[in-house]
């Protein structure tokens, strides 16, 4: 067979294989409907499920003990600390009571060994957080270190926690890479507070524990009238706080009477204080861990079972969040290569560029470049793959890679619409007022920077059971600095 003919035949086979894979990533209208109604069912179940333990696979639906929404008039100077995907941030937040705030911060990249090493202890991790807090205090608030005046701190902790009050909660499991075993089941506020004290900062009081989605929601509520998202004359209400970044999650206000997992005592106490609602941290990353309805390819199974630190859990997150988009593409490419359909210059898997063989080395940022590459011969894609993976590609290969990227991101954005649609339906938020509109405070690199993510989400919302009429009432707003300002707001009411 001539070289051209061989080449052509190969190309046809690659295209066919890629089209088949892309097809497996499609989420259509019927699937959106099925997933939305299962999400609502899972929310109801989760609200009634009393014991939260590491083995429970359903939707966690964690009560946060945040019982009101800020209205923008809150005032004060507070500290906030934020342990998220890859960074630790300490800030002091000044809320000026007019929907505005100012913020001073110190951001540190969490050392690799704290993330990678299972043998690291909680004290080492929280000791590190306390040391960074000390650096911050010395730089920005030395006066408190000298005069010992108390300073309230809100702690944003972006992992599933079984929250027992506004200021306490035990870690259910790590997500997004952390592996430290002895933190599971411990109260993370106690761990942080005791390290702050042993390092000479008893004046810093950790008074509130907030998930990052809760922070995002509260900060969006605080800023809302100021953020330009409302057209004059319309009434628009913040309903959901959500994150689509390294991980994904969301929270919303639920009627206290519906939160069956609260004890009778807790419920009566809250009602006697005149509270009617509580913010629920859904931990939607764990939606459908039983895989009854989520679309599942063999790549999803491999990533979960072979490469993730929490197999069997957070299966929705593993299809949606930024940590997994690149890993999905990497798995597909390695598979296509093992089927001898792509990268023919490499005879076997071992000879592939090291980064293509290394789990999680392909970042979602690379996908974001490929997604919108319209350069001739897809040169941007070529450069991006060369720079990030040291992987040379042909034009034909790049065309197929771009198709895969778009299939992966589209599935992510379509799935991202499911919890939004479900919460809007469950809470009846779209029908509360005549022409009432709703605001969704969003944060995270994917929703903020991935090209077209929000418009794909909107498209899916219109296809979902809320339909185009519902979709038109939804404002997807970017809520800036949620974890800092939101935690400060939590600390203020504590
Ligand atoms: C965590 C959530 C968090 C989300 C976004 C998930 O992996 O379980 O608690 O809100 O990431 O950061």
Taking the mean position of all CA atoms in its chain, how far away is CA 290? 20
Q: For residue 462, which phi and psi values (nearest 5 degrees)?
A: -65, -30
Residue 243 CA, closest ligand 1 atom number: 5
What are the Cα distances from residue 379, in Å, to 104, 312, 342, 366? 41, 39, 18, 13
| Distance separating alpha carbons of residues 381 and 189, to the nearest angstrom | 45
Class of the domain covering 1-64+223-481: alpha beta
Of 158, 252, 281, which is best to mutate to test ligand 1, by the most ligand atoms within 8 angstroms of its C-beta?
158
Task: Give the separation between CA 379 and CA 388, rounded to whole angstroms.
Answer: 14
Fold equal for 1-64+223-481 and 76-210:
no
Domain boundaries, the chain: 1-64+223-481, 76-210
Give the pairing type, strands 168-171 and 277-281.
unpaired
Give the active site residues: 158, 173, 212
Region 75-82: mean pLDDT is: 95
**Contacts of residue 489, Cβ cutoff 8 Å, sequence gap at least 6:** 70, 74, 95, 154, 215, 218, 219, 222
Give the full edge-to-edge strand order of the sheet including 204-210: 101-109, 87-96, 75-83, 151-157, 204-210
Specify the pLDDT at position 227.
Answer: 42
Residue 481 pLDDT > 90: no
Q: Is 176 in the pocket of ligand 1 (CB under 6 A)?
A: yes
Structure confidence by residue, pLDDT tens digits, 399-436: 999 999 999 999 999 999 999 999 999 999 999 887 78
Q: How far apart are the first and last CA of the chain?
A: 76
Query: Region 5-13: what's the mean pLDDT?
Result: 85
Residue 51, pLDDT > 70, answer: no
Coil, helix or strand for 179? coil
CATH of 76-210, one of 3.40.50.1100, 3.40.1010.10, 3.20.20.70, 3.30.420.40: 3.30.420.40
Whole-number Å distance between alpha carbons of 329 and 363: 10
Burial class (CB in 10 A: 0-12, 13-18, 19+), 56: middle
Mutation to probe ligand 1, out of 59, 61, 175, 317 (largest number of atoms < 8 A from CB): 175
Cα of 376 vs centre of ligand 1, distance in Å, is 39
Determine which residue's CA is closest to atom 6 belonging to ligand 1. Answer: 247
Kindly give the residue spans of alpha helices, DSSP state H, lying in 251-376: 264-272, 298-302, 317-320, 322-338, 354-357, 364-371
Examine the pLDDT at 198 and tell me if it is beyond 60: yes
pLDDT: is 378 or 494 the higher one?
378
Sign of CA dihedral 202, 208, 211, 214: negative
Q: What are the beta bridge partners of residue 138?
A: none
pLDDT digits (tens, 9 = 90+) for 202-222: 999 999 999 999 999 999 999
Q: Kindly indicate the confidence band of residue 324, based on its pLDDT and cuts at 50, 70 and 90.
A: very high
Tell whether the model's pLDDT for residue 179 goes beyond 90: no
- The residues, ordered by sequence, that sit 6+ positions from 186 with a Cβ below 8 Å of its Cβ are 122, 170, 171
Question: What is the whole-number distance in angstroms between the Cα of residue 213 and the centre of ligand 1?
Answer: 8
| pTM recorded for the entire structure | 0.94
């Amino acid at each position: 067979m001539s070289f051209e003919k061989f080449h052509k035949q190969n190309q046809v086979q690659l295209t066919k294989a890629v089209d088949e894979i892309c097809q497996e990533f499609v989420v259509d209208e019927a699937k959106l409907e099925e997933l939305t109604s299962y999400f609502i069912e899972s929310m109801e179940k989760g609200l009634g499920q009393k014991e939260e333990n590491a083995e429970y696979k359903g939707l966690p639906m964690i009560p946060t003990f945040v019982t009101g929404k800020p209205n923008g008039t809150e005032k004060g100077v507070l500290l906030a600390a934020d342990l998220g995907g890859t960074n630790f941030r300490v800030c002091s937040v000044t809320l000026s009571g007019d929907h505005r705030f100012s913020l001073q911060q110190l951001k540190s990249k969490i050392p690799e060994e704290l993330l990678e090493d299972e043998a690291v202890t909680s004290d080492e991790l929280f000791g590190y957080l306390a040391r960074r807090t000390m650096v911050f205090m010395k730089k920005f608030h030395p006066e408190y270190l000298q005069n010992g005046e108390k300073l309230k701190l809100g702690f944003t902790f972006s992992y599933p926690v079984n929250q027992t009050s506004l200021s306490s909660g035990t870690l259910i499991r790590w997500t997004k890479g952390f592996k430290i075993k002895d933190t599971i089941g411990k109260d993370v506020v106690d761990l942080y507070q005791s390290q702050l004290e042993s390092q000479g900062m008893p004046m810093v009081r950790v008074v509130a524990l907030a998930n990052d989605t809760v922070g995002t929601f509260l900060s969006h509520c605080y800023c809302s009238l100021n953020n330009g998202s409302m057209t004059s004359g319309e009434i628009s209400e913040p309903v959901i706080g959500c994150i689509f970044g390294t991980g994904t999650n969301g929270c919303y206000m639920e009627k206290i009477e519906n939160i069956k997992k609260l004890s009778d005592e807790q419920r009566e106490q809250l009602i006697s204080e005149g509270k009617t609602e509580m913010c629920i941290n859904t931990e939607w990353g764990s939606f459908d861990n039983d895989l009854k309805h989520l679309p599942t390819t063999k790549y999803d199974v491999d990533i979960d079972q072979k490469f993730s630190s929490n197999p069997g859990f957070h299966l929705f997150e593993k299809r949606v969040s930024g940590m997994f988009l690149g890993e999905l593409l990497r798995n597909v490419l390695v598979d296509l290569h093992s089927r001898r359909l792509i990268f023919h210059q490499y005879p076997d898997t071992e000879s592939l560029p090291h980064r293509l063989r290394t789990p999680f080395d392909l970042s979602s940022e690379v996908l974001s470049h490929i997604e919108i590459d319209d350069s001739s011969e897809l040169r941007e894609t070529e450069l991006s793959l060369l720079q990030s993976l040291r992987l040379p590609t042909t034009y034909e290969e790049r065309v197929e890679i771009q198709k895969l990227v778009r299939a992966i991101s589209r599935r992510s954005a379509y799935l991202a619409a499911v919890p939004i649609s479900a919460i809007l339906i469950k809470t009846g938020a779209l029908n509360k007022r005549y022409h009432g509109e709703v605001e969704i405070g969003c944060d995270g690199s994917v929703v903020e920077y991935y090209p077209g993510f929000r418009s794909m989400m909107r498209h899916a919302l219109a296809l979902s059971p809320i339909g185009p009429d519902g979709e038109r009432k939804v404002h997807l707003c970017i809520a800036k600095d949620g974890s800092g300002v939101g935690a400060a707001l939590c600390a203020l009411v504590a």
